[in-house]
Structure 1
């Protein structure tokens, strides 16, 4: 009986895995960020439908919106597409009341909001940011912390009309890409209130302490900063972060 039970469990797991991997559109190529709703729904981003984790810099060089916001329903085991044609969908967060989602659209320097109630419409939460929004996290006080990637030379907009030859040369070397855009030379985090207004701005413009910050999470009166360029996690008192 025990062996039969284990076999049945394994069979159900494999079936569930199969259902999670397929849905009405293309398979997930670059799963980036995820958040779970109180009803068990899983919301996650597919940053690029063409490039993977180690090729993310090629997405900005191509300058085409290939990102998506997806939802997995644990009751039906189905994944649905909520938003597409997004310019590198990165972080995602639920509002305090869980009535809308905020998603980071990195290469367009903005964060759309997708309403889960009513007509499920899409609006701009915040745009014209001083950098590409990477990850977003809800703070205990109902505000959001958003880490920004500071791309030099105009970032995404700079490469929309660049000749293909220039893009190909840069694409061959990730190190050249980082050197040109200076992505690892600074760190920026903003604190945004529920209506999309910036209420605080944290910046290490020369990267003396922290550089290439990709996330900011508040926990027990401290702000923890994740990054892709140093061997440590930054820690800052939240009173100082929100002064």
Structure 2
């Protein structure tokens, strides 16, 4: 099944809701309480915003003092924020209070806290994209293919373990609806890795998706039970050749002036996979006014989008 395929004529055109800050990288939808249906996002200036379900009302709820990326909502209605500079934070949107939860692993500060998912038992699974490069140098990690990304597990008692390491730019994180596995996107490898948590395969890893048509960023389980995957940019043959080239060439490429470096192509694309790894939806939209989708949330037939580059969030109806 395909919700939509192919850009250009007939491609879905998103409705765009501006926010007063650049880089609304991720989105999460409130599913209860007085703000039911509202969408939260974070921008490069450290602000966290709440946008009403129809886009008519916008409110700043907090500032993290860093660079918020992945967002989740815990059972108490608080935001769990992966801040690229400050690590994992918990934010009360009612008061704006920011509580640090995790900044170091094994005595070393996280370099690139990126995305998370919360289990029913309160366990938090989160990605640390690289141990070498922070968000300002994300292209360095992508091109040099350092494979220093990690999937971390934060238990309710505060203990931290490295669940997976050696990941090629660990990015989005999502849990199966039944908690049987946790999935993490590998941006540089264009895959979604799956770590089994229960059943006969517990402790083993495989792939939910491979050979994606571009570079995945955040992923999230939707209200439909599917794992939604952003495709931030189509596969770039130049990047592929650089990843396979010598280190000196990789470093030289990322030291070029920004206009001469490989650039993300304009695209608006998200996909959804079932637990068997079957592609269920492929939303390939009109990127004329909104591009580089890095955040996705399906909620009751609507797909909300965030972007590392845009000063806005967007929504597409399935």
Q: TM-score range by the shorter chain?
A: 0.7 to 0.9
Contact 1:107-1:155 at 8 Å conserved across structures: no
Label 1:100 to 1:156 Cα distance change in 2 as closer, same or farther (>3 A): farther
Partner of 1:70 in structure 2? 152
Taking structure 2 as the reference length, what is the TM-score of the superposition? 0.63
Partner of 1:92 in structure 2? 173
Contact 1:136-1:144 at 8 Å conserved across structures: yes
Q: Which has the higher contact order (CA 8 A, sep 6+)?
A: 2
Counterpart mapping for 1:54-69 below 5 A = 54-69=136-151
Q: Does 1:130 align with 2:213?
A: yes
Contact 2:150-2:170 at 8 Å conserved across structures: yes
Contact 2:216-2:229 at 8 Å conserved across structures: yes
Task: Work out the CA distance in 1 between the residues paired with 2:145 and 2:193.
Answer: 18
Partner of 1:8 in structure 2? none
Partner of 1:36 in structure 2? 118
Taking structure 1 as the reference length, what is the TM-score of the superposition? 0.81
* Structure 2 runs not aligned, ≥5 long: 1-98
Deviation at 1:231, TM superposition (A): 2.3
Give CA deviations for 1:135-171 in whole Å, capped at 9, x if unaligned: 1111112112110122453265321232445433331
Q: Does 1:210 align with 2:210?
A: no
Deviation at 1:208, TM superposition (A): 1.1
Contact 1:131-1:150 at 8 Å conserved across structures: yes
* Structure 1 runs not aligned, ≥5 long: 1-16
Task: Work out the CA distance in 2 between the residues paired with 1:150 and 1:213.
Answer: 8
Query: Which has more radius of gyration?
Result: 1
Task: Work out the CA distance in 2 between the residues paired with 1:155 and 1:86.
Answer: 21
As a proportion of its length, which structure holds more helix? 1
Deviation at 1:187, TM superposition (A): 1.9
Contact 2:214-2:235 at 8 Å conserved across structures: no
- Number of matched pairs: 217
Task: Work out the CA distance in 2 between the residues paired with 1:195 and 1:138.
Answer: 14
As a proportion of its length, which structure holds more strand? 2
Q: 4+ residue runs of structure 1 moved beyond 6 angstroms?
A: none
Partner of 2:21 in structure 1? none
